[in-house]
Chain A
Amino acid sequence: MFQDILVTGLVNGGVYALLAVGFSLIFGVARIVNIAHTAFYMLAAYCFYMLLVKADLGFAVSGILSVAGVTLLSVICYRLVIEPVREHEAAVLIATIALALIFQEVMLFSFGGHYLGIPSTLSGVVSVAGVTIPYQRLLILAVAAAMLGVTWTLLYRTRLGLAIRATANDLEVANLMGMNVNRVAMATVAISVALAAIAGVVVAPVYVVDPFMWLSPLVTMLAIVVLGGLGSLKGSVIGALIIGYVESITVFALPAGAFLKGAVALSIMVLVLLLRPEGLYGVAFEEER
């Protein structure tokens, strides 16, 4: 059981980290609370299903195509829907909720509400220290780690990353220094949704794909982001691991744990917030005016 907890927590934590880092990034740069974030993850899973099972394109091609397609869609949505109402924070929020609902309903209408299964990218299992791990879960872990590495490199080793960090730090000053803040925001949207889409593609064979699959990771992701501190990438990764482990401990160790896993994870978030209102790694910034 101990090994099960260890492995499941790590894998789920990896997926959550991919989602939470993207969400955190977009909040930090553009102050957008993107409720549709996990809806893009759901879309990517559907896209992957369609390309792989229906069009029979092979794993690599369909994976890359679905990530690219969903990212493109997110940029279009951002330009058409979010940018015109950027000044009204409440309107942005509801616009992203509406977008998520639209995606859910379109998928419900075109694929139906039943669960879709996707064949594993890699079959077979490996046995480590007495616990069998399917290769697919190892793949998820590897992809998550690689993508987090890529994101880190992008943010801390490139000019675009510098611009993104500068904008997140102070939007107005970044604008005054001659950065095209709108374009930076758009690039951030693309990066963050690409991360979500990658998460969607890699987990699609493990989890079931259905139009409502965006809701439960959404809540977990929000809990992680708040736990780690809004806008903090380090916090998101650490928060994701904490919540991933807490969830797997609850599922394996408590009776009726499957029902309680969300409740326990969220209670931990509430507890942390009570002790540190700005989250684990959030900056205790003065009230923004």
Chain B
Amino acid sequence: MYWLRRAWAELSNEVLVLPSRILVLAWVLTLLVLPHVYGDPYVLRIVTLTCIYAIFAASWDLLAGYTGQVNFGHALFFGAGAYASALISLKFGISPWITVWIGATVATAFGAVVGFLCLRLRGSYLSLATLAFPLIALGLLFAFPDFSGGELGVSGLKRLAASVPANYYIAVFSMLAAVFGLWLVADSKFGLVLHAIRDDEVAARASGINTPRYKLLVFAISAFAAGLAGALLAHYIRVAGPSTLETAISFQVVIWGIFGGVATIYGPVAAVFILYPLTEWLGSFKAFGELRLLIFAVIVLLVLLFMPRGLAPWARDRIETPCPRCKQRNRAWRSACRLCGAPLKGILAAKPS
């Protein structure tokens, strides 16, 4: 009984006070109960894929948003995870439950190598150089079709679970674990160091931070999550094909990240949950089927013109304001800060930027 009361107190004092936290709670609950309320296999399939891509987008954000290593070749980690898991489970007959982790580990190794190669690059050089890596991998895959399956990829994989809802729950729980894990990493002291590296690497180094080590670590963590997403995708759609390494995937994740708002983790995830089902839904109309990428690009362009910092920070500024005195966030319609009682409206109150 005590724990129940305690949980309720936590809930009402920490979660229900902020609209953004209520939204996150509602989103998690919706994901958890969806198969029981609306078990349409098509919808579940879309949400499963959305969850997998959300892991991918969040992993990009840790690397690009927090650390400023704007990676244009994130598909490399995705593809590495997918191919490694697929090949190992197929050639050695190991259960996908194990190979998914092996795939993520292989992707981590790729991440460390790419991170090592890119240590000396910064800014646009880094972006453009990283763009090359998945294409090198793609060229190698096509050059050795016996090993990789060439254009067709590796097919005939086993799924993680047999039924539709089971696969759905696997994707949802991995997504929640990965996203909250990444968010914890980004919100910790470690994340603070990453902010410092992005804002001014020289200053961070002058403050005694071993920036190469941090950059390598972030590359590895981000690649691990991306590889996990790739492996999950490969076992869900049961094919690991060259499309996982294409430039389009790398660009897609950049679009999700910037559209949602970088350096937030929740932004890219929100972007995936908005944009991916939207494109699928548009694709289901005959008239829009061919135009869906066009509509997608136009929407992205329009959103950027009006909210260049991304969707999630923009929306958050609309519903919440920071207290001018203690910097805690409050509902936008409160007149006094919920923690320190300072007036939120008036001359002192900071305008949402």
Question: Chain A interface (Cβ within 8 Å of chain B)?
Answer: 27, 33, 35, 81, 84-85, 87-88, 90-91, 93-95, 97-99, 101-102, 104-106, 108-109, 215, 218-219, 222-223, 225-226, 230, 256, 259-264, 266-267, 269-270, 273-274, 277-279, 287-289
In the assembled complex, 25 residue pairs joining A and B whose CB atoms fall closer than 8 Å, in A order, are: A35-B251, A90-B262, A97-B251, A98-B300, A99-B297, A101-B297, A102-B298, A102-B301, A104-B293, A105-B294, A109-B290, A109-B291, A215-B247, A225-B128, A230-B125, A260-B140, A263-B136, A263-B137, A263-B138, A267-B132, A269-B129, A273-B129, A277-B120, A278-B125, A287-B202
| A234-B256 Cα distance, complex, nearest whole Å | 36
- Which residues of chain A have C-beta atoms less than 8 A from B300's C-beta? 94, 98
Which chain A residue has the least Cβ–Cβ distance from B295?
Answer: A105
Is A277's CB under 8 angstroms from B121's CB? yes
Tell me what chain B mostly uses at the interface: helix, strand, loop, or mixed: helix
Is B258's CB under 8 angstroms from A98's CB? no
- Which residues of chain A have C-beta atoms less than 8 A from B309's C-beta? 88
- Which residues of chain B have C-beta atoms less than 8 A from A279's C-beta? 125
Question: Chain B interface (Cβ within 8 Å of chain A)?
Answer: 70, 117, 120-125, 127-129, 131-133, 135-140, 142-144, 200-202, 247, 251, 254-255, 258-259, 262, 290-291, 293-294, 296-298, 300-301, 304-305, 308-309
Is A266's CB under 8 angstroms from B117's CB? no
Closest Cβ of chain B: how far from A226's Cβ, in Å? 5
Which chain B residue has the least Cβ–Cβ distance from A288?
Answer: B123
Is B291's CB under 8 angstroms from A260's CB? no
Contacts A93-B258, A94-B259, A274-B117 given; indicate if A102 touches B297 (C-beta within 8 A): yes
- Which residues of chain A have C-beta atoms less than 8 A from B298's C-beta? 98, 102
Is A105's CB under 8 angstroms from B291's CB? yes
| A277-B124 Cα distance, complex, nearest whole Å | 11
| A219-B132 Cα distance, complex, nearest whole Å | 7
- Which residues of chain B have C-beta atoms less than 8 A from A218's C-beta? 247
| A249-B142 Cα distance, complex, nearest whole Å | 18
Kindly count the residue-residue contacts between A and B in the assembled complex, taking CB atoms under 8 Å apart. Answer: 135
| A226-B130 Cα distance, complex, nearest whole Å | 11
Question: Which of B127, B132, B200 lies in contact with A270, CB distance below 8 A?
Answer: B132
Is A223's CB under 8 angstroms from B262's CB? no
Which chain B residue has the least Cβ–Cβ distance from A87?
Answer: B308
- Which residues of chain B have C-beta atoms less than 8 A from A84's C-beta? 305, 308
Which chain A residue has the least Cβ–Cβ distance from B131?
Answer: A222
| A35-B139 Cα distance, complex, nearest whole Å | 21
Which of A88, A263, A267 has its CB near the most chain B CB atoms (within 10 A)? A263
Question: Which of B142, B201, B247, B258 lies in contact with A94, CB distance below 8 A?
Answer: B258
Which chain B residue has the least Cβ–Cβ distance from A27?
Answer: B124
Q: Given known contacts A266-B135, A273-B120, what 19 new A-B pairs fall within 8 Å (CB)?
A: A85-B308, A88-B308, A93-B70, A94-B255, A95-B304, A101-B294, A102-B298, A105-B293, A108-B290, A222-B131, A223-B132, A230-B124, A230-B128, A262-B138, A266-B139, A273-B117, A273-B125, A279-B125, A287-B201
Closest Cβ of chain A: how far from B96's Cβ, in Å? 29
- Which residues of chain A have C-beta atoms less than 8 A from B127's C-beta? 33, 93
Is B120's CB under 8 angstroms from A97's CB? no
Is B136's CB under 8 angstroms from A219's CB? no
Is A91's CB under 8 angstroms from B308's CB? yes
- Which residues of chain A have C-beta atoms less than 8 A from B254's C-beta? 93-94, 97
Which chain A residue has the least Cβ–Cβ distance from B261?
Answer: A90
Is A269's CB under 8 angstroms from B294's CB? no
| A81-B173 Cα distance, complex, nearest whole Å | 39
- Which residues of chain B have C-beta atoms less than 8 A from A274's C-beta? 117, 120
Is B294's CB under 8 angstroms from A106's CB? yes
Which chain B residue has the least Cβ–Cβ distance from A268?
Answer: B132
| A264-B136 Cα distance, complex, nearest whole Å | 7
Closest Cβ of chain A: how far from B260's Cβ, in Å? 11
Q: List 8 tightest A-B contacts by C-beta distance, closest first.
A: A263-B139, A105-B294, A266-B132, A259-B142, A101-B297, A277-B120, A88-B308, A91-B308
Is B247's CB under 8 angstroms from A263's CB? no
